Amino acid sequence: MNFRSTFGQHLYENRYLYLFLATILQVFLVSFFPDRNYLFINELTFSIFMLANINFIRHSRRIVLVMIFFGILSIFLAWVPAQSDIGQNILPWKISIVVLFIIVIIYQIVSQMVSSKIVDAKMILGVITIYILFGLIAGECNQLVYHFDHNAYSGALDPTNNADLRYYSYVTITTLGYGDIAPVSQIARASAVFFSLTGQVYLAVVIALIVGKYVSYTDKKDEEEEEEKEREGN
C-alpha cells in the first residue's frame, strides 16, 4: 500500500474528527485575534473548513466532483475582499454556495447517524458538528439579510466582518437572547424564529435518537449474552 492510498484511508477513517476540528476552528479561532487580523484568519479557517467538508463527502463520483468544484470555488470567493465592489457583488453567491454545501454535509452526517446501529465516538462528533453547522448556516443567512438591509438588526454591528452576526446567530439558536443585537425587520425576525426553533427541535430529536439507539444496542447485547449463557449451560 503506497503513501497516497494510506493517507487517503487515514483521512476517510478520521473524517468526522477532522470536520469537527475544522468547524471548531472556523467558529472559535477568529475570536482570539485582533480586528486587523480577523479577515485573514477567518478566510484561512474557512478554507480549512471547506477542505474538511470536501474530504467528508462520500457519494457517487459525479456528485463528489460537483461538490469539489463548488467547494474550491467558495474558497476562491472567500479570499476576494468583502468590502470591495466585486466582493459585495459576489457575496450572495458565495453565501448560497456555502449554505448549500453545509446542508449536503449535514444530510450525509444524518444519513450515517440514522443507519448506524450503535452510539460511538463518530456519532457523538457528528451530533455536535451538526449543531455547530446550524449556527454557521444561521450566520450566513443573517449576513445575507444584512447585506440587503443594513437596518435589519439593531446594535453595534461591524460591517467589515461577520463576527457580530455569527455571535448573534449562536445566541439565537441556543435561545440565550442577550439583547445586544436584535432583529428589527420582518425577515430578520422570521429568521430568528426559524433558527431558534430549529435549534431546539434538533436537540429534542437527537436526544431521542441517541437514547433509542443506546437502549436498542444494550438490549440486543443483553440478549446475546443470555443466549451465550444458555448455550454454555447446555
Which helix or strand (DSSP H or E) is residue 154 part of?
Answer: strand 153-154
CB 97 within 8 A of CB 74: yes
CA separation for the pair 99, 232 (Å, rounded): 56
pLDDT at 11: 78
pLDDT tens digits along 192-232:
999 999 989 998 888 888 888 877 777 777 676 676 777 76
- What's the whole-model pTM score? 0.84
State the distance between the two ends of the chain, measured CA to CA, in whole angstroms: 47
Q: To 5 degrees, how large is the angle CA 150–CA 152–CA 157?
A: 60
The CATH number of residue 214's host domain is 1.10.287.70
CA separation for the pair 151, 149 (Å, rounded): 5
C-alpha cell at 7: 493517507
Q: Can you tell me whether residue 59 is helix, strand or coil? A: coil
pLDDT tens digits along 146-192:
989 988 998 877 766 778 888 899 999 988 877 788 899 999 999 99
Domain count, the chain: 1
CA separation for the pair 161, 179 (Å, rounded): 20
CB 97 within 8 A of CB 77: yes
pLDDT at 35: 66
Q: Would you say the C-alpha torsion 73, 74, 79, 83 has a positive or negative sign?
A: positive
pLDDT tens digits along 62-99:
777 888 888 888 888 888 876 677 878 888 888 898 89
CB 171 within 8 A of CB 177: yes
CA separation for the pair 74, 50 (Å, rounded): 8
**H helical segments located in 116-185:** 121-148, 163-173
Torsion of CA 93, 94, 96, 99, to 10 degrees: 180
pLDDT at 4: 57
Q: Can you tell me whether residue 182 is helix, strand or coil? A: strand
Residue-range definition of the domain harbouring residue 139: 3-233
Which helix or strand (DSSP H or E) is residue 218 part of?
Answer: helix 186-233
CA separation for the pair 210, 124 (Å, rounded): 9
CA separation for the pair 66, 102 (Å, rounded): 14
Please state, in angstroms and as integers, the Cα–Cα distance from residue 106 to each residue in 52, 95, 103, 202, following that order: 13, 16, 5, 12
